[in-house]
Amino acid sequence: MLQKPKGTYDIYGDRALIQLYFRKLVEALMDKYNAKYIETPIFEASELFHRGVGETTDIVSKETYDFKDRGDRNLTLRPEGTAGVVRSFIENKLYAENLPLKLWYMGPMFRYERPQAGRYREFYQFGVEAFGSDDPMMDADMIGVVVNLFNILGLKGVSVNINTLGDRESRESYRKALLEYFKPYLGDLCEDCQRRYEKNPLRILDCKIDSGKEIMKNAPKMIDYLNEESKRHFDKVQEYLKAMGIDFKVNSNIVRGLDYYTHTVFEVQADIEGFGAQNTLAAGGRYDHLVEFVGGPSVPGVGFAVGLERLFLALEAEGIDIRKCVYPDVYIFNADEKQKPYVLALANHLRLAGFNVEIDYKTRNFKSNFKRADKVRAKYIIIIGEEEVQNKFLTIKNNVTKDEYKVELDNLIEFLDEKLGDDDED
């Protein structure tokens, strides 16, 4: 029997209900922020991720799904959303629009890593990218999006951790300090960190293998190497977060695993009992030079991504059920085969009028149809026989109270509007 690939999963049943409801919630929230939807290809030129995400990152060096197509082109399944959105922003000249511009996406990403709870090789992300302003107000506003989303979902114990990587000048000063500090300890670092030492020593601080070592705890802190402009930016971000009433703490250990970040980086976590160490539900930061680095004009940006798998695990751990079940307003069945065209036409008419309708495709007997109506949790049942077709009236039964009505066909929509409205009020 054929089975799904390791590290993937099917979305159906309760998970499908949760994901659909979450998408609707996100769509409504994004409207409030005047953010526009964008969808980019599942695969892109490999060069995009090597240049945009960074050669020294674990994502590019270890985790991407790379392949050649029949035209001998090097392609990669997208491991994250930002690089593709930036490529689209440049290629479609969205920078010529009225900036700032906020774009949001939601879809599958792919990384080859060891599957575990909340971590898959095909996983889903919701993210926002905001282009066109280097003002720290935008950094704070993006953090606010995540906090508001988690508050709407009902998550408790949400905490915001922020740090700064400074501008190019500050980062270069910090890079030199790290090179000097780690040089005597190179032999104590893992093989990956020894390679990172020359290419990007900041990545050493993000190492999962060496993170607990004493040399890591005593490493220089970025905040001590900030120039005045970088300090001002970070101070303003904190001022704006306080103005919005968002609690946060400065965490100098946050450097993020992607090379394109500058200035603000952040993680939003949930302190949930029994949830374990994988408690970071959203992360992001500012990337003022990424658009230019990928081949576009100099346009600053800031964004974040939320991992749906971890988020849904967090909701489950908190006992929060966001499933939105939509049951049929009406279930229609016919007495015999001759009424099938009438049933189909009536169902089509009601669906176009905005009702959720299920019908009997099998011509079951009355008893089986009533059982079927109960199983799909239909609110009303319409029974079509020869007499109903000829006289243009319908027998309608309330599937909860079992009250029965005779309604003329011309009055059906008005009747259902009234009854279903009353049911919603109850």
Question: What is the average pLDDT value for the chain, to the nearest integer?
Answer: 90
How far is Cα 14 from Cα 90, in angstroms, rounded to an integer?
39
- Read off the amino acid at residue 97: E
3-state secondary structure labels for all residues of 57-76 = CHHHHHHCEEEECCCCCEEE
Q: For residue 398, tell me if it sits in a domain.
A: yes
Q: Choose the final residue of a domain: 317, 340, 369.
A: 317
How far is Cα 190 from Cα 9, in angstroms, rounded to an integer?
33
pLDDT of residue 280: 86
From the CB of residue 266, how many other CB atoms can be counted at a distance below 10 Å? Answer: 28
Residues 283 and 402 in one domain: no
Contact 220, 178 (CB under 8 A): yes
pLDDT of residue 326: 85
Residues 366 and 232 in one domain: no
Residues 151 and 41 in one domain: yes
pLDDT of residue 274: 65
Residue 396 backbone dihedrals phi, psi, to 5 degrees: -120, 135
Q: For residue 174, tell me if it sits in a domain.
A: no
Q: Enter the tokens of residue 301.
A: 């940006």
Q: Enter the tokens of residue 101.
A: 């511009």
Give me the domain span that covers residue 374: 330-425
Residues 36 and 141 in one domain: yes
CATH of the domain at 281: 3.30.930.10
The pLDDT tens digits along the chain (426 residues) read 999 999 999 999 999 999 999 999 999 999 999 999 999 999 999 999 887 676 656 677 778 999 999 999 999 999 999 999 999 999 999 999 899 999 999 999 999 988 887 789 999 999 999 999 999 999 999 999 999 999 999 998 888 999 999 998 988 888 888 888 888 888 888 877 887 877 778 778 777 777 778 788 888 888 889 999 999 999 999 999 999 999 999 988 787 655 678 899 999 988 777 665 557 899 999 999 999 989 999 999 999 999 999 999 999 988 999 988 889 999 999 988 899 999 999 999 999 999 999 999 988 899 999 999 999 999 999 999 998 889 888 999 999 999 999 999 999 999 999 999 866 555
pLDDT of residue 111: 94
Q: Which among 13, 34, 318 is positioned nearest to 153, based on CA atoms?
A: 318
pLDDT tens-digit readout, 134-145: 999 999 999 999
74-77 and 330-334 strand pairing: unpaired
pLDDT of residue 114: 86
Q: Enter the tokens of residue 248.
A: 């946060």
How far is Cα 401 from Cα 247, in angstroms, rounded to an integer?
50
Q: For residue 189, tell me if it sits in a domain.
A: no
Residues 134 and 242 in one domain: yes
CB-count exposure of residue 134 (10 Å: 0-12, 13-18, 19+): middle
Residues 156 and 284 in one domain: yes
CB-count exposure of residue 330 (10 Å: 0-12, 13-18, 19+): buried
Contact 174, 261 (CB under 8 A): no
* CA dihedral angle for residue 345, residue 349, residue 355, residue 359, rounded to 10 degrees: 0
Q: Which residues of 42-61 are buried (b: 16+ CB within 10 A; e: fewer)?
A: ebbebebbbbbbbebbbbbe
Helix axes 340-352, 412-425, angle to 10 degrees: 60
Residues 148 and 248 in one domain: yes
Helix (H) or strand (E) holding 82: helix 82-91
Residues 163 and 284 in one domain: yes
Q: Choose the final residue of a domain: 284, 317, 350.
A: 317
How far is Cα 329 from Cα 249, in angstroms, rounded to an integer?
49
Question: Structural domain tally of the chain?
Answer: 2
pLDDT of residue 182: 86
Q: For residue 359, tell me if it sits in a domain.
A: yes
Q: Which among 259, 191, 171, 253 is positioned nearest to 216, based on CA atoms?
A: 253
Q: For residue 3, tell me if it sits in a domain.
A: no
213 DSSP assignment: S
How far is Cα 35 from Cα 30, in angstroms, rounded to an integer?
5
380-384 and 330-334 strand pairing: parallel
